Amino acid sequence: MAKKKEKWANPTLSGNPKKEIVRKANELVEARYRFDIWETRLFLKFLSLLGREEEEFKEYYKFYLTDFVKDFKLENAHATYKSIEQAGHEMVKKVITLESKDEGRKARVYTGLFTEFIITDEDDSQNYAKISVSKWLRPYLVALKDRYLSYDLSNIASLSSPYYVRIYELLKQYEKIGHRRFTVEDLKFKMELENKYKSYGHFKQDIIEPAKRNIEAYCDIVFEYEEIKKGRKVVELLFHISSKKEKKQPITVSKEESSSNIVTPQYFVPPVEFPDWLTAIGDKLNKDWLVNTDQLKLKALGKTEKDVQNAIAFTQERIKLGKVENPAGLFLDALEKGYISKAQKKSEEQEQKKREKTERLRLLKELEQLKLEKLAERARAINEQIRVLVKNDESIREAAFEAIKTSSNGYYKKLLLKFNNAPTPTDFREDELLRGAVIDEIQKQNIESFKPIYQLFDTQIKSLEIQIQALKI
């Protein structure tokens, strides 16, 4: 019986591979969009197929899937096939926003990316994908004479996050200038992260710092950055960009050097100092699940100990369910993609509820304090208006005194008993309750003079009361 052909040729990292050059119009680099890592890889592979001098746009651009595996130094060919297919499906639905000009005016252009994506599925090594692109995007892709970014695809092949790729491209544009400045909000906006990261500290921890480490480890540039503050808040970032003189390459592994029929590519591990906790965990994972230590170190770049423990818990949970054939592969995938176990998810949801409750109580206290301040401000405004009225017409106060003395109001009558029904001007000044009664009476008798104050403050106070009530529900 003839041996069935493998669907994929097994990639090896050997020799001097042909350079795959990505050329990307500056408008695309600056555009606002968000891809996941597979969509990013697929789009950049497509860009590497375009020639710099190409004038006419082809109907389709084709690449072999084995080349994709080699370009991005991937291991699991079957999983890669499925990921490419899913990425292509998503790219057909994807809309990108471009800052451009229309009839000489600044404009935003909303356009789809891929119009068609075709992928073959046969049991041999000749499977390929074909891509067709929106006509509106073509001017940004062909005949790029100037205003474009160019780099070797291998520079971003090992980057595990699309955000690291975006930051690399945005800084690579300015490599010759040596510096680039962004507002924090603009940088988040370009990556569609403005709603995910309200706090700069979290944005720095999750995006900027891991991108810095990964770009330094794998790419042809390095960067440092300054935080520019307005008061205590970081509002801008000034990046200092420099070229890396020597870029590290993956270690070459040939078929003959492998002890099995399936080659597992070995990767160059950048000279990063890894913490003791990762070394200890790595030894145990290698013993229990045969996790390759070098692969672990690569996947752990930019990750915390909690991230690693979450990936372990997720893998253990799946093993208990009897759904795992390759614990090492599942663990590394969980670490890269941030999967967590159901128990951890429940715990995090509970923690989130606690944080939300704490935040709600904090906000409630803040609103109640603000309401008190508005009430005090309203009272000061009323007192100042009374002062002005009385200064201009002393009889206003006397009329208020007389109204209180002759009033049939039960509260006023009870209040006057304290002064034998004959309070003096001094009593009105010194007794807080009596003074309050005078203030109320002056307002009643001169209502038009106080309406602007009521209109200004009562609307604000009512709005605060509604917010307070909503938080108490």
pLDDT exceeds cutoff 80 at 321: yes
Mean pLDDT for 101-118 is: 77
Question: Which residues, in sequence order, are bridge partners of residue 234?
Answer: 229
Mean pLDDT for 434-457 is: 88
- Reported as a pLDDT band with limits 50, 70 and 90, residue 211 is very high
131-135, 233-237, 310-314: the lowest-pLDDT one: 131-135
What is the structure's pLDDT at 298? 73
What is the structure's pLDDT at 37? 79
> What would the pLDDT profile of 432-442 be if each residue is shown by its tens digit?
888 888 888 89
Helix (H, G, I), strand (E, B) or coil at 370: helix
What is the structure's pLDDT at 239? 93
Is residue 439 packed enough to be buried (19+ CB in 10 Å), middle (13-18) or exposed (0-12)? middle
Q: Quick one: DSSP state of residue 138?
A: G
> What would the pLDDT profile of 44-89 be if each residue is shown by its tens digit?
788 777 764 455 667 788 888 888 888 777 766 667 788 888 888 8
What is the structure's pLDDT at 98? 62
Mean pLDDT for 194-220 is: 89
- Reported as a pLDDT band with limits 50, 70 and 90, residue 238 is very high
- Reported as a pLDDT band with limits 50, 70 and 90, residue 34 is low
pLDDT exceeds cutoff 60 at 2: no
pLDDT exceeds cutoff 60 at 266: no
What is the structure's pLDDT at 312? 92
Percent of the chain, pLDDT > 90? 8
Which residue has 């990063």 as its token pair? 272
What is the structure's pLDDT at 212? 93
- Reported as a pLDDT band with limits 50, 70 and 90, residue 226 is very high
Percent of the chain, pLDDT > 70? 79
pLDDT exceeds cutoff 90 at 31: no
Q: Give me the chain's average pLDDT, please.
A: 77
What is the structure's pLDDT at 227? 92
What is the structure's pLDDT at 204? 93
pLDDT exceeds cutoff 80 at 276: no
Would you state the structure tokens that stand for residue 437, as one six-digit string? 């009664």
Measured between alpha carbons, how far is residue 373 from residues 369, 370, 378 in Å? 6, 5, 9
pLDDT exceeds cutoff 90 at 176: no
pTM of the model: 0.40
**Under a CB-based contact definition with an 8 Å cutoff, are residues 335 and 307 in contact?**
yes
Would you state the structure tokens that stand for residue 268, as one six-digit string? 């160059």
Alpha-carbon Rg for the chain in angstroms: 34
Helix (H, G, I), strand (E, B) or coil at 171: helix
pLDDT exceeds cutoff 80 at 179: yes
What is the structure's pLDDT at 136? 67
Question: Which residue, among 89, 134, 91, 131, has the nearest Cα to 111 in the 3D structure?
Answer: 134
> What would the pLDDT profile of 339-373 be if each residue is shown by its tens digit?
888 888 888 788 888 888 888 889 899 899 989 99
Q: List all residues 6 or more positions away from 294 whose beta carbon is below 8 Å from its beta carbon.
A: 266, 267, 269
Of residues 296 and 1, more confidently modeled: 296
